[in-house]
Amino acid sequence: MRGEPVAVVGIGQTKHVSARHDVSIAGLVREAARRALDDAELDWADIDAVVIGKAPDFFEGVMMPELYLADALGAVGKPLLRVHTAGSVGGSTALVAANLVAARVHGIVLTLAFEKQSESNAMWGLSLPIPFQQPLLAGAGGFFAPHIRAYMRRTGAPDTIGSLVAYKDRRNALKNPCAHLHEKDITLEKVQSSPMLWDPIRYSETCPSSDGACAMVLTGEAGAARSPHPPAWVHGGAMRSEPTMFAGKDYVSPRAGRDCAADVYRQAGVTDPRREIDAVEMYVPFSWYEPMWLENLGFAAEGEGWKLTESGVTELDGDLPVNPSGGVLSANPIGASGMIRFAEAALQVRGRAGEHQVDGARRALGHAYGGGAQFFSMWLVGSERPVG
Site for another protein in 185-204 (CB under 8 A): 195-201
Beta carbons within 10 angstroms of residue 237's beta carbon: 27
State the Cα angle at 131 between 127 and 134, rounded to 5°: 65
Q: Give how many residues touch another protein by CB under 8 A.
A: 115
Per-residue x/- track, 45-64, another protein (CB under 8 A): x----------xxx-xxxxx
Burial 90-110 (b: 16+ CB within 10 A, else e): bbbbbbbbbbbbbeeebbbbb
Please report how close the Cβ of residue 286 comes to another protein at its closest, in angstroms. 11
Nearer CB in complex with another protein: 320/336: 336
Q: Which is nearer to another protein, 65 or 324 (CB)?
A: 65
Residues 65-104, one symbol each (x = binds another protein by CB under 8 A, - = not), give x-xxxxxxxxxxxxxxxxxxxx-----x--xx--xx-xxx
Tell me if residue 381 falls in helix, strand or coil.
strand
Other beta carbons within 10 Å of 177:
12
Nearer to another protein, 6 or 164 (CB): 6
- Which residue, 327, 282, 316, 317, is CA-closest to 300? 282
Of 209, 332, 374, 383, which one interacts with another protein (CB under 8 A)? 374
| Nearer CB in complex with another protein: 174/203 | 203
What part of residues 354-373 is at the interface with another protein (CB under 8 A)?
Answer: 371-372
Q: Is 271 in the site for another protein (CB under 8 A)?
A: no
Q: How near is the Cβ of 109 to another protein at its closest, in Å? A: 11
Q: Give the x-and-dash track for 241-270 against another protein (CB under 8 A).
A: xxxxxxxx-xxx-xxx--xx--x-------
Alpha-carbon span 115 to 124, nearest angstrom = 15
Half-sphere exposure at residue 25, Cβ-oriented, CA atoms within 13 angstroms: 23
C-alpha separations of 189 from 163, 166, 258 in Å = 9, 11, 34
CB–CB of 212/112 below 8 Å?
no
User: CB 150 → another protein: shortest distance, Å?
Assistant: 5
The secondary structure of residue 146, as a DSSP letter, is: H
Decide whether 62 or 174 has the Cβ nearer to another protein: 62
Q: 274 to 293, contacts with another protein by CB under 8 A? A: none
Per-residue 3-state assignment (H helix, E strand, C coil) for 235-289: EEEEEEECCCCCCCCCCCCCHHHHHHHHHHHHHHCCCCHHHHCCEEECCCCECCH
Q: Which is nearer to another protein, 259 or 310 (CB)?
A: 259
Report in angstroms how near the CB of residue 321 gets to another protein at its nearest. 28
Task: In angstroms, give the least distance from the CB of 129 to another protein.
Answer: 7
Tell which positions 319-348 bind another protein, by CB under 8 A: none
376/238 Cα distance (integer angstroms): 8
Buried b (16+ CB within 10 A) or exposed e, 29-39: bbbbbebbbeb
Residue 256 to residue 246: CA distance in whole angstroms: 13
Stretch that binds another protein, among 117-125, 293-301, 304-312, 322-330 (CB under 8 A): 117-125
Complex with another protein: residue 259 or 276, whichever CB lies closer: 259
- From 229, 341, 338, select the one nearest 280 (Cα to Cα): 341
Choose the stretch contacting another protein; rule: CB under 8 A; options: 176-184, 238-246, 268-276, 292-300. 238-246
Q: Which is nearer to another protein, 122 or 347 (CB)?
A: 122
> What is the smallest separation between the CB atom of 264 and another protein, expressed in angstroms?
12
Among 330, 307, 16, 282, smallest CA distance to 166 is for 330
Q: For another protein, which stretch binds (CB under 8 A), given 1-9, 273-281, 318-326, 348-356? A: 1-9
Burial 131-151 (b: 16+ CB within 10 A, else e): eeeeeeeebbbebbbebbbeb
For residues 13 to 52, the per-residue mask of contacts with another protein, x marking binding by CB under 8 A and - elsewhere, is ------xxxxxxxxx--x-------------xx-------
Rounded least distance, CB 41 to another protein, Å:
17
We find the least distance from the C-beta atom of residue 179 to another protein, in angstroms, to be: 21
Q: Which of residues 124-183 bind another protein (CB under 8 A)?
A: 124-139, 141-142, 145-150, 153-154
